[in-house]
Structure 1
Amino acid sequence: MASSPSLTIITRVPLPAFLDPRLVLESLHTFESLIVANPLLKTYERRAVQVDTLVDDPFFHEDGQKLSAFVVTDRVPIIPGVGSWATKDVVIPCVFQSFEHGVRCRADAQAGVTVRSSYEVRPRGHVEGGPAEVRPGDGDYELVEIANIDCGSFVKAFVKRSFTNAHQDILQRVVDDIARRHSTANQ
């Protein structure tokens, strides 16, 4: 059994009132909507699911419906603001599992960082924790990420800071993209 995570980070983004939560759930179940929303994404490709690496991981529950695996390559700035020459490509194997309320993802990053995130479409306030901003036009649902991150103490502060900012942006991009596609389809 895995040890307790070094960090737990909850990220919440409200869904616009006009956006049916089922559309967000359908988009999450494709898995790619979460991958392409990452602003650091360079490439991604499907890979075979290695079931033997998942059997003993209690994160992947029996209520899951399907598994898909990807290799994601991010282009990460080493020195922010310096330009594209100061970047490093980081390869991250990921495994996704859909379930009734969303998607689970385990990402095994470099430096011994493992992220186990659950992305869920829930009634607003159903999940406690994390910032809860309500704006005019927001509906009764939100996209919530509950991330448990295992990492060493040496990188903990960096991981927390970069993860919190990046994943707020990723969730907002997912919601904005679905809302944009929905609005275009209804014109």
Structure 2
Amino acid sequence: MTEVRITPWDEDDLALLRRLNAPEIRHHTGGPETDEQVLARHERYVRFAGTGQGVMFTVVLPDGAKAGSVGYWERVWRDEPVYEMGWAILPEHQGRGLATAAVRAVVAEAAARRRHRWAHAYPSVDNPASNAVCRKAGFTLLGETEFEYPPGHLMRSNDWRIDLSA
């Protein structure tokens, strides 16, 4: 199994977030954000852990290199409070199982909170890599749905769900 560590997002992760804002990484999520949007996202990620609504993490390799981001946050889905999960891995680290390992670690973190039974992920139907991560991490495919991301933009997504109480 691939080894990764997840550490709560902090002030030192802005450079990583800028690298994760590349067109090839953001292709399935509406494209790159402006620098102003990236700065605002970074500030949200830094403050997020203290809110109790979820946590963003940095994906760290055994050698200490930062390979990506992964996290969970609260949302209401079909009139039920759930966690939503998302992740991104830098291109040079893709295809090695890092996202799957990081998502499994975040599932364990979210389950330990005992706040919501379900976590969902909504990768684009056109994103085979993220859909494979969901399958390998133990999520169940519930089917296709229209999902709003980024705000104001509807995309065809798969609705994957995992039981955090299992």
Larger CA Rg, structure 1 vs 2? 1
Report the structure, 1 or 2, having the larger strand content. 1
Same fold? TM cut 0.5: no
TM range (shorter): 0.3 to 0.5
Task: Calculate the TM-score normalised by the size of structure 1.
Answer: 0.32
Report the structure, 1 or 2, having the larger helix content. 2
Task: Calculate the TM-score normalised by the size of structure 2.
Answer: 0.35
The structure whose RCO (Cα within 8 Å, separation 6+) is larger is 1
